[in-house]
């Protein structure tokens, strides 16, 4: 969140008064789910001032639980809890950053080795047998399971012989995901990698489990051909801020997979490119890139990465 704070830091007043700030916020329309810019700015200023007064500046650490008792008291005095204020301030910052990225991306033309396509990947004009690796992160909820069948069909068409499909998956519907991928005889199951989320966990309420890792399923278009080098099947993924998309993945995990399954000059396609993490990382590693997304906002955010 540090970069966000720098982007959205308001001008800090020379003189700030605790009681005046509390009164000012309490007089505002206090609806956390529709946090206004004026209220967000006032709350940010208050947290910044209190951090300085306490001698322990925490205003650039929104993802960590604040132990600053004066900030906790301030939140209580305005009629809320610190957890609520921190959460909605963070959401507001991410929302405003996403809007900025969308507008910025509209003016960006990616380099010639990068194609970012707006549309359904099924209808895209990606040439047959032209892609070395499909690296992607399809949506996980059950209502999107049909996309895995479409993804498998797409992989059969566009992958080069012995090319790889490497896809992040959730745990809950994993049997259905594998079933749909296995329906295509031209694709052969290769392996399942473990992506460990460093410092993160997700509660799966339907199972009462705390999930700390994500399966990455790997399929290969026939004929089967083993990887040239030997790699571990356990990848540690750094913590990521989801500025561009709610399902945004980290760059570190993507970079590892790009290097495992391709070499410089290869072509990588992401048919669910979202905020463009995978295309961006692949391009940095000197691969040609095709990113596709049905959401125009996501396409613009992806393009903005290549400014």
CATH of the domain at 279: 3.40.50.150
Q: Is the pLDDT of residue 22 over 50?
A: yes
Regarding whether 184 and 86 lie in a shared domain, the answer is no
Regarding whether 247 and 188 lie in a shared domain, the answer is yes
Q: Which of 105, 130, 151 is the last residue of a domain?
A: 105
CB burial string 231-246: b at 16+ within 10 A, e below: eeeebebeebbebbbe
Regarding whether 118 and 101 lie in a shared domain, the answer is no
Are 4 and 91 a contacting pair, CB within 8 Å? no
Regarding whether 123 and 37 lie in a shared domain, the answer is no
Regarding whether 126 and 67 lie in a shared domain, the answer is no
- Dump strand ranges (E) for 239-287: 267-270
Instruction: Give the single-character DSSP code of 70.
Output: H
Regarding whether 251 and 122 lie in a shared domain, the answer is yes
pLDDT tens digits, 42-72: 888 887 777 765 444 444 443 344 446 788 8
Domain count, the chain: 2
Regarding whether 221 and 170 lie in a shared domain, the answer is yes
Regarding whether 100 and 235 lie in a shared domain, the answer is no
Prediction pTM value: 0.75
Q: Which of 71, 86, 105 is the last residue of a domain?
A: 105
End-to-end CA distance of the chain: 21
CB atoms within 10 A of CB 198: 13
Element of type H or E holding 120: none
Q: Structural domain of residue 233, as residue ranges?
A: 114-304
Residue 164's DSSP bridge partners are 133, 220
Range with the poorest average pLDDT among 48-57, 120-129, 228-237, 271-280? 48-57
Greater model confidence, 149 or 84: 149
Regarding whether 135 and 254 lie in a shared domain, the answer is yes
Regarding whether 119 and 101 lie in a shared domain, the answer is no
What is the rounded CA–CA span in Å between residue 10 and residue 64? Answer: 21
Range with the poorest average pLDDT among 33-42, 107-116, 168-177, 214-223? 33-42
Regarding whether 181 and 248 lie in a shared domain, the answer is yes
Regarding whether 183 and 141 lie in a shared domain, the answer is yes
Q: Which of 50, 85, 105 is the last residue of a domain?
A: 105
Range with the poorest average pLDDT among 9-23, 194-208, 228-242? 9-23
pLDDT tens digits, 279-290: 999 999 999 999
């Amino acid at each position: 969140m540090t970069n966000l704070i720098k982007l959205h830091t308001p001008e800090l007043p020379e003189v700030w008064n605790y009681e005046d700030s509390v009164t000012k916020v309490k007089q505002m329309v206090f609806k956390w789910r529709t946090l206004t810019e004026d209220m967000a700015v006032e709350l940010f200023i208050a947290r910044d001032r209190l951090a300085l007064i306490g001698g322990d500046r925490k205003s650039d650490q929104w993802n960590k639980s604040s132990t600053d008792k004066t900030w906790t008291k301030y939140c209580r005095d305005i009629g809320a809890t610190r957890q609520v204020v921190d959460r909605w301030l963070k959401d507001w910052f991410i929302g405003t950053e996403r809007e900025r990225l969308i507008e910025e991306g509209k003016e960006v033309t990616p380099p010639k080795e990068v194609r970012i396509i707006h549309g359904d990947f099924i209808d895209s004009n990606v040439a047959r047998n032209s892609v070395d690796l499909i690296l992607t992160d399809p949506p996980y909820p059950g209502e999107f399971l049909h996309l895995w069948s479409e993804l498998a069909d797409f992989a059969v068409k566009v992958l080069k012989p012995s090319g790889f499909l490497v896809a992040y998956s959730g745990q809950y519907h994993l049997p259905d995901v594998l079933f749909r991928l296995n329906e295509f005889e031209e694709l052969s199951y290769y392996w399942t990698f473990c992506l460990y989320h460093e410092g993160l966990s997700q509660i799966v309420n339907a199972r009462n489990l705390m999930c700390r890792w994500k399966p990455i399923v790997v399929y290969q278009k026939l004929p089967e051909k083993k990887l040239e080098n030997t790699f571990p099947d356990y990848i540690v993924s750094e913590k990521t801020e989801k500025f561009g998309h709610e399902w945004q993945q980290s760059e570190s995990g993507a970079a590892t997979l790009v290097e495992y399954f391709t070499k410089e000059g290869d072509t990588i396609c992401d048919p669910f490119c979202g905020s463009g993490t995978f295309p961006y990382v692949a391009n940095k590693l000197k691969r040609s890139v095709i990113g596709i997304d049905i959401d125009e906002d996501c396409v613009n955010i992806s393009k903005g990465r290549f400014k």
